[in-house]
Structure 1
Amino acid sequence: MIARTTAAACAALLLLAGSGAQAANRHVDIVNKTGMTMKHFYASSTGTDDWEEDILGRDVIEDGETFDINIDDGSGACRFDFKAVFDNGKALVRKSINVCEISTFTYRP
C-alpha cells in the first residue's frame, strides 16, 4: 500500500513539473548592443532545421533598443535557437537558449 501511495505521489509530482514547462512565460526581451540595426529575428525549437517566419516582420531593432518577443510556438518547448540578421547582412546564431528561464537576451558583437 505504501509503495503504491509513493508511486502515485511521484507520478503526480512529475505531472506538475511537466505542466510547469507548459505554463512557463516565454516572453524574452531581445536587446541589440551590436552597433548595427537588427532587421530580422528568428527563433526555432532546438533541433529544428527550419527558421520559420521573421518574428520582427516590418519592425527592426536599432542598436541600443529592446524588443519584447513571445517565443511560445505552442509546442511546450523551452529551448530555442535564435538567429538575428543585421543591416550589413551578417547573421548571428545562438543555440539552445532556455526561454523558460530567461527574460532578457542580449546580442553583442
Structure 2
Amino acid sequence: MRQNILAATFFAAAAMLSFAAPAEAADRRVEIVNASGRTMMEFYASNVSRSSWEEDILGNDVLRAGRSVVINIDDGSGACRFDFLAVLDGGRRVEQRDVNVCEISRYTVR
C-alpha cells in the first residue's frame, strides 16, 4: 500500500512538472530596440520553419528611432528560433535569421 502511495505521488509530481515547463517555456518576451536612426514601420518575427513572414507585429503602430517595445514572440509552437525582419521608413529592410528568443531579452535594429 505504501509503495502504491509513493508511486502515485511520484507520478503526480512528474505530471505537474511536465505541465509547468511549457507555460514557462512560452515566455518569449524580447525588447526590440530601434537604433537605426529611422522610424520602424513594420516588424516581423517568423518561426524558422516557416517559408514566409507572419503578420506585421507592429500593426498600425510604428517604432520611432531611439525607442523600444517589448514583444512576446510566442507563436504557440514552443519554438525558440525565429527570423526577424524590420522595415524602416524609406523601405530599408533589416533582416536577421535564426534568432534564439529563448536566450536573448533584447534585439537591436541598427
In the superposition, the TM-score normalised over structure 2's length comes to 0.77
Per-residue deviation, 1:22: 6.0
1:48–1:22 CA distance, 2 compared to 1 (3 A): farther
1:74 to 73, 76, 101: 76
| Moved segments of 4+, more than 6 Å | none
What runs of 5+ residues in structure 2 fail to find an aligned partner? 1-13
2:32 is matched with 30
How far apart are the structure 1 equivalents of 2:101 and 2:49? Answer: 15
Cα deviation 1:43-66 (Å, max 9, x = unaligned) = 000131111110000111111000
Measured in 2, the distance between the counterparts of 1:54 and 1:92 equals 14
> Is 1:59 aligned to residue 98 of structure 2?
no
* CA-CA distance at 1:23 after TM superposition: 2.5
Using the aligned pairs only, state the percent identity: 55
After superposition, the Cα gap between the structure-2 partners of 1:78 and 1:21, relative to the gap in structure 1 and judged at 3 Å, is farther
Bigger CA radius of gyration: 2
CA separation in 2, counterparts of 1:87 and 1:52? Answer: 20
Does structure 2 conserve the Cα–Cα contact (< 8 Å) formed by 1:22 and 1:76? no
Across the two proteins, how many residue pairs are aligned to each other? 93
